[in-house]
Amino acid sequence: MISPFRWERAPGKMPRRMTKPTKILSITAIAGMLGAFAYEYTVAPAHADSLGSFCAAPVQGEEHCVSSDRSPADAWNRAAANGELPIAMWAKWPSGMTADELVESPARLKAWFADTEKALSYVRDTQRNAASYKASLARVAALVAEVKARQAAPREDP
């Protein structure tokens, strides 16, 4: 039996690949590229306006932040160049957004949680530094406490 996934060679002819699997593979690849293109030019720009940032700071040093569309490694490397371990890393919501605006929008809150998880997993899984992970968790806990306190505060209704 001739396998459609092997190169077949007829006597006196050049090797030829069966066409049905090739067509299916080509169609699948084109569909994947179109999906990626559609995502990049429809979903991504909407998120780009509301990007937060990844921030990192050595214990005795200044805060270094990069946009959350970049890698957490960029913020880490800047902080590491200007200080020593441990380095705390966290995600900030966009600077023009208040804590109220953050919690009122499920999409924004979800994006901030995803950025926070990305920053923490970078420290935990890539850097593998327990002291930095502990400092990062403390910084994230302070941000969550800020949001929680803001939610508990009485609101002024217009």
Average pLDDT of every residue of the chain: 78
Predicted pLDDT of residue 152 = 80
Closest CA to 88 of 128, 126, 135: 135
86/133 Cα distance (integer angstroms): 8
Predicted pLDDT of residue 154 = 74
The residue extents of the domains of the chain are 7-48, 50-152
Predicted pLDDT of residue 75 = 96
* pLDDT tops 70 at residue 155: no
* pLDDT tops 70 at residue 86: yes
For residue 110, what are the CA distances in angstroms to 23, 46, 99, 115? 39, 14, 13, 9
Torsion of CA 24, 26, 31, 36, to 10 degrees: 140
Tell whether omega for the bond before 11 is within 30 degrees of 0, i.e. cis. no
The H-assigned helical ranges of the chain are: 19-38, 44-48, 72-81, 99-104, 106-121, 130-152
Return the structure tokens found at 133. Answer: 């992970």
pTM (2 d.p.): 0.64
Q: Worst-scoring range by mean pLDDT, 38-47, 53-62, 73-82, 108-117?
A: 38-47
* pLDDT tops 80 at residue 49: no
